[in-house]
Amino acid sequence: MIKDIKKEVEEITKWIKNYVENSKAEGVVIGNSGGKDCAVVIALAQKALGKENVLTIAMPCNSIKKDLEDAKLVSNTFGVQLLELDLTNTYQTLEKEIDEIIKPKEEWRQKEAKVNAKPRLRMTTLYYIAQNLNYLVIGTGNKCEKVVGYTTKWGDNAHDFNPIGEFTVEEVLQIGKYLGVPDKIINKPPNDGLGGLTDEEKLGVTYKQIAEYIETGKTEEKAMQIIIKKEQASLHKRKPIPVYKRT
């Protein structure tokens, strides 16, 4: 856990402010799902840049209604603008067009492709808006997600910079509580909204176990085996793109 939360938050907000200024950008765009991580990043960005320079985007895509309600709660709490862009029709058009010309080798591959298409559409949307406004896209992934690869390549793991990428879930929540993120959001079971199950149910381990593994190199044996397997399988998501080197 973070020992001096006041000092840490001051350092993070200073870093955000400096990064945006040095990039000659005028603000930041943040995907607002109504979840913990994005809520904390919104709070940090608002503190660093002022509410007028933070634009949040809710992008429902066959999503449940309460997620949009939570996104509104977060934006209202920190006084930042929220745009609502429903990507359901866009996604369904893409899905229909591709399914008419491609047959998957295995059914599970098609399912995974469809799940990952949604965060990729959302990231495309964020960059489309950011480029129009001379804003940066700010990331919202935490360290636990990064270690086990619980992220979509070129989707939610694509951004210009990330202020919480080196903090575990518990530490992100610690920051959120300090900054006044609503209890409803803090206590919300982590869910990416892409499959009906919570994050931990999909992963087969808890974020507490992942954090313990990160901090000590070990946790409960069965959980550690799952974490190591996922960490190794997702290495490609954390490494630079391989490029052939000319001789």
Please enumerate in sequence order all residues whose Cβ is within 8 A of that of 173, keeping only pairs 6 or more positions apart, or say none.
36, 40, 186
> Does the model's pTM come out above 0.85?
yes
∠ at Cα 127 (134, 153), nearest 5°? 145
pLDDT in tens, 84-100: 999 999 999 999 999 99
pLDDT tier at 190 (50, 70, 90 boundaries)?
A: confident
Distance between CA atoms of residues 33 and 56, nearest Å: 9
> Which of 61-70, 161-170, 208-217 is predicted least confidently?
61-70
- Cα–Cα distances in Å, from 247 out to 33, 110, 240, 243? 47, 39, 20, 13
Lowest-pLDDT choice from 25-34, 117-126, 186-195: 186-195
Judged by DSSP in three states, 203 sits in: helix
pLDDT in tens, 118-167: 999 999 999 999 999 999 999 999 999 999 999 999 999 999 999 999 99
pLDDT surpassing 90 at residue 198: no
Q: Does the pLDDT value for residue 236 go beyond 90?
A: yes
Judged against a pLDDT cut of 90, whether residue 48 lies above it is answered with yes
Give the per-residue pLDDT at 62.
Answer: 85
Residue 192 pLDDT > 80, yes or no?
Answer: no
- Which residues on adjacent β-strands are paired with residue 54? 28
Give 196's pLDDT tier (boundaries 50, 70, 90): low
CA distance 164 to 171: 9
Q: Residue 194: its pLDDT value, please?
A: 67
Give 193 or 180, the one with higher predicted confidence: 180
What is the pLDDT confidence band of residue 26, given thresholds at 50, 70 and 90?
Answer: very high
Using an 8 Å Cβ cutoff, are 58 and 71 in contact?
A: yes
| CB atoms near residue 155 (< 10 Å) | 17
Residue with tokens 């295995």: 106
For residues 182-200, average pLDDT: 84
**Residue 71: CB atoms within 10 Å:** 27
Give the pLDDT band of residue 104 (cuts 50, 70, 90).
confident
- How far, in Å, CA of 187 to CA of 12, rounded? 23
Is the CB of residue 20 less than 8 Å from the CB of residue 136? yes
Structure tokens that stand for 98 in this block = 């591709």
pLDDT category at 64 given cuts 50, 70, 90 is confident
| Contact yes or no for 137/28 (Cβ under 8 A) | yes
Amino acid letter, residue 156? D
Phi-psi region at 19: left, alpha or beta (left = phi > 0; alpha = psi -120 to 50): alpha
